[in-house]
Every structure is written in structure tokens, then in C-alpha cells.
Amino acid sequence: MKKKIENTIHKLVSDLQDKQNAEGSWSFCFENSVMTDAYMIILLRSLDMHDEELVGRLVNRLWKLQTREGTWKLFEDEKEGNLSSTIEAYFALLYSGTVKDDDKRLEKTKHFIEKKGGLNDAHSITKFMLAINGQYDWKHLLPIPIEFLMIPKQFPLNFWDLSSYARAHLAPLLLLKDQQFSIKMNGIPQIKHLSRRSHEVNYSDRELKLFSKINEGLQSLINIPSHLHQQGRQFAQQYMLQRIEPDGTYLSYFSTTFYMIYALLALGYKKGDPIIIKAVQGLKKMACETEKGIHLQNSPSTVWDTALISHAIQEAGVNAGDHSIEKAVEYLLKKQHFRYGDWAMESGIKPGGWGFSESNTIHPDVDDSTAALRAITYSAAESPLIRQSWDRGIEWVIGMQNRDGGWPAFEKNKTKPLLTSFPMDGAEAAAIDPSTPDLTGRALEFLGSRAGLNKDHPQVKRGVQWLKLMQKDDGSWYGRWGVCYIYGTWAAITGMKATGVPSSDKHIQRAKAWLERIQHKDGGWGESCYSDQEKKYVPLPFSTPSQTAWALESLICIEDKPTPAIDLGIMALLDLINGTSDDPSKTYPTGVGLPGHFYIHYHSYRWIWPLITLSRYKEKYG
């Protein structure tokens, strides 16, 4: 087995070095289901932009992803299909003009949509798209007035309390709702009939409490002149325009840019306005190739992939002086942030983080920052200039710790529980930016293994204490940005171990027992995206390379010598790496954007995590 491990490590490193771009980066596809592809077709058609080649290629990919049942899914084991994805694909195919309403391939699709409750039961994000295109009534959406944006920061509940991701979407959506905006043109498919006839919106007690709090805030503004409404509209417009990145996109996301374009149209911008033209060009640059054809990424993962890959190949023995690492480090240093963004309002620290996409200059996040810092650590030891960047990065990461001791994704202390009742699907995950076990574990792993801070350091100590409090009864931790309990447990174990928590610690022993308990008979690990929706571990019928690697790395850092679970797992991992490309384990999404709605197949993960795990095994056990 030793020889096979060495050969596999060598092959993975060689494959990755061959895939490196001339500028030092790696660009792998960040693939979600069909939302972005469908929305791109809809956007091009509603803007009268005649890019027939792109529309045709996107239509081809949609057809290839349709199931035999006529539906579209978010992940392989999703039963029947996903209602929102199916509506999005169905509407986009009709909008493309290349598909007729009576196309035989769509008969089952219509039946599925009606059976599942029609447009009324789709995700909020889908309904907003439909409302813009005149297929859903705005009165059923977002019962929040645009004046909400003007509630002062010192008030107990205001716009700035929301997560940056929620604010980025809410600014254009409030504008669109305020204007009741819908595109008026020929050629828009009419699918309103797929709604239920009567539609009552019933709000929960928590939602009503939220509305009451917002109303209190609005009452405090009563004495302000009546142009408050206009101020709210101007604020929303400025909020978007000030966050346009150099490539023309709004915060480097497809979804925010898509809604910004329509919000600008609602404000009176013309379809040919330079801001809109540049935004569409920025979105087109997000295209990547997949086995099923062209795909529009929601947010290209170049910085993330480059940071993780350059770290992984260094862990596999490639020297920091190697040309591939020097080029990667040079690229990453150019992508470090020097501009202040919204994150600075709460943190009071200097810029120094990294973002996810290469066009991202003002929206850094903790996970990308620790990934980039890991990748430049060895180089920083050799170069005072790189060391300065490394020091700035560490200062930024430590400065982003939440009051509770954990780490968030984008901004500190955006944790008001009432906001999880915001009247949009997915608000419990997206409206706030709380500490999460995966981000906290990853931050601790970096601070322990690379920055030399141990469990006695005050901030590390608080992080470890918070993690221990978050452990589930079965011994696992929930991971917010990966699937899901395996991911969170891996991050927590490796984070605590890196800061000096002993393997004998009861939290680590419980986690180890859980990982061994859920190991598949083939030796691997596999977890379904359903875990994320049911908030409990749901196994996949097959193992995946990244989840197997995460579970194994956790066990390797606990055990002084290989155990039967580890040896069986390593053999399974080697089989998964060398398996055929059409194996479903290679394409199963193991990243999460929005629980229940947005899952990510990172094309880079089948190289990165197995390479790190095999290198750890070889280094520790010889």
C-alpha cells in the first residue's frame, strides 16, 4: 500500500501542476445545479441581447441535466426532483425561444410542477425571478417597505444587522418590490396558470414579531419629512453601485448582479446603459466548461482553489521555492485586499483578508483568508515582503472573531436571532452570519499549525471553548459551508488538535467514535445533501472522495498509529481517486451555498482533499 500511496500522491501533484495557469492560479469549475444557467437565458432574452450561441449552449446543458421524470435536481439522491430548479429550467427553456410549450420533453415537467404545488411552493429566489417576468404577484412577496433601509444603525433592528449576503440581495429586491417591477415585452412565456388559484400568505408568530420591530423603527422616523420613501430608493441604488467590482458584477455574485440589473431597469436605466452592459459582460466571464456543457458559475472559485491547491501540493512535499508555488504565491499576494468593505464597520481592523473570486476586492471572508495564509506561510518565512502580507492577514483573521468566541464567514457579530424570521426562504441560514463550527475549526487549525498559537492563547482558548459547546449529542459538529456533519466534524477535530487539545479529550473521543460508526462497508464515507435540510446526518449510498478524505484526516490526526478504520479508509480513498470519471461520487456536490437551495460541486475537491489526507498519512505513519 505504501508504494500505491506514494504513486498516487505523485500523480495528483503532477496532474495539478499541469493544470496551473500561466499567471500562477488554478481555475476549476464552481458548479451548481441549473439556477444560474436558466437565469442567464432569461436575462439575455429580457435585455434583447442576441447571443444565440450562448443561449443555445445553455439550453443544451439544461436538456442534458433533465431527469427521466422530466424534472431537474439539486443533487443525485434528491427524490423525484427539485420544484424550484424544475420551474427555473422549464421557464428558461420556453423563454429561450428554441423550445415550444407543447414539446414532448416538457409534458412530465408541467405535471410535476402542478403536483408539487405549482409556483406558490417554489423558493423565494425563484418567485422573485418570476415576479420580475410578470408570472408571480409581487403582493405575495417581501412585505417590508423600502423605508426599512433608512432605520438608523443604533436602532435594535436595522438593515445593517443583516449578513452582507442578505443585504446584497435585499437592496435590489426591495427596489423591485417597491416599484412592483415587471418586464413588459413579447416572447415572455406565460406560466401563471401553474400557480394555485387561491393563495393565502400566513405569517408565523416570529415573522409577525419581526414586522412589529421593523414598524417600531419606522415609527421613530415619522417626524422626518415625507421624502423618506425617495431616500430609501436612493440608498438602495447607491448601496448597489458602490459595491460594483472592477469586472462590472455586484460583489462578484451572479445572483446579486442578476437582481441589480433589473433593479436598475426599475429605476429607469435603459437596457443599453454602460453599467448594465458591463454587468452582463462580467457575468459571461463566469462561464466554465463541464462534462454536460457550458455553465455559469455563481461566483468563480479561483482564489479559493489556488490557495487550497498550492497548500496541498506543499503538504505533499513540493518546496516553497518550486516555480509552481512561487507563481501561486505571487498570484495570491496580488489578490489580498487593501480596500475597506462593509466588514470594517464592526471590526475596526485594517484590510488584509482574501475573497473567493478573483474579481472580489471588497468582500473578503475568513475561510479564504486562512486558506491563502496557509498557502503563503513557508514563503513568508523566507521573504520579509511576503511576511508583511502574512502578518496583515493574520491580524485580519484574528480581528474577525465573534463575541461568542467562534468565527463567522464575512462580518463580525451579525447574529440577531430575530432576523432568521425574515420573510424569505433560507433566512435562517442567510439572514445572519453567525459563528459556525466549520469556519471556527478551520481558523483554529491555521492559527495552531501555522501561526504557532496554542489552546492557552486567549482568543484560541475562546474558540476551542465555543467549539466544544457546539458539539452535537452524537459527537458530530454541523458544517454550514460543506456537506455537512462530516465536514463540520473534520474542521472541529483538526482545529482543536492543531491548537494542542489532546486526543484523549472527551469531545475528540466522541467525535472519533461517531466517524467510525458512520464509515461505509467499503471503507469510505459519504453524506447526503439531505443532512443539510433535515439537520441530522443522512448517509449517501456511496462514498465520495472529499468526504472520505475529511473523515480520514480527522482520524489520522487523532491516532498515533493506523487503525483498521484508517487502513480500510485509505484503501477506499485510493479506489475513489482512481475510479472512472462517470462515477457519481466524483460529481456529487459536497459544498453548500444556501441550505436546501444551492449546493456546489467543486471540481477541484477530488484532488485537493485526498492529496492532503494521503500526505498526512505518509508523513505521520511513514
| CA 128, 132, 135, 141 torsion-angle sign | positive
Helix (H, G, I), strand (E, B) or coil at 356: coil
* Long-range contacts of the stretch 475-479 (C-beta < 8 A, 24+): 475/510, 475/511, 475/512, 475/513, 475/514, 476/511, 476/514, 476/537, 477/437, 477/438, 477/441, 477/511, 478/436, 478/437, 478/535, 479/436, 479/437, 479/438, 479/592
Q: How far is CA 120 from CA 101, 114, 189, 197, 315, in A?
A: 21, 10, 17, 10, 50
- Which of 276, 293, 321, 225 lies closest to 58, judged by CA? 293
Residues near 53 by beta carbon (within 8 Å), at least 6 away in sequence: none
Residues paired with residue 293 on neighbouring β-strands, in sequence order: 290
342 is catalytic: no
Cβ-contact 74, 33 below 8 angstroms: yes
Q: Tell me 471's DSSP state.
A: -
The grid coordinates listed for 301 are 472559485
Cβ-contact 566, 270 below 8 angstroms: no
Q: How far apart are the C-alpha atoms of 329 and 215, rounded to whole Å?
A: 50
Beta pairing, strands 598-602 & 591-594 = antiparallel
Q: How far apart are the C-alpha atoms of 124 and 144, rounded to whole Å?
A: 14
Planar angle of CA 72, 70, 535, nearest 5 degrees: 35
What is the SS3 string spanning 400-426? CCCCCCCCCCCCCCECCHHHHHCCCCC
Q: How far apart are the C-alpha atoms of 545 and 577, rounded to whole Å?
A: 7
Helix (H, G, I), strand (E, B) or coil at 55: helix
Catalytic hit among 305, 367, 404, 438: 367
What phi and psi values does residue 501 have, to the nearest 5 degrees? -70, 125
Q: Tell me 22's DSSP state.
A: T
What phi and psi values does residue 277 have, to the nearest 5 degrees? -60, -45
Cβ-contact 347, 50 below 8 angstroms: no
Cβ-contact 560, 500 below 8 angstroms: no
Q: Could you tell me how many helices (H) and strands (E) the chain has, helices first?
A: 25, 5
Give the burial string for 111-144 (b: 16+ CB within 10 Å, else e). ebbeebebbbebbbbbbbbbbbbbbbbbeebbeb
| Start-end of H helices in 123-253 | 124-132, 164-179, 205-219, 228-241
Helix (H, G, I), strand (E, B) or coil at 593: strand
Q: How far apart are the C-alpha atoms of 400 and 394, rounded to whole Å?
A: 10
DSSP 219-249: HTTTTS-TTHHHHHHHHHHHHHHTTB-TTS-
Q: Tell me 120's DSSP state.
A: G
Kindly list the catalytic residues. Answer: 367
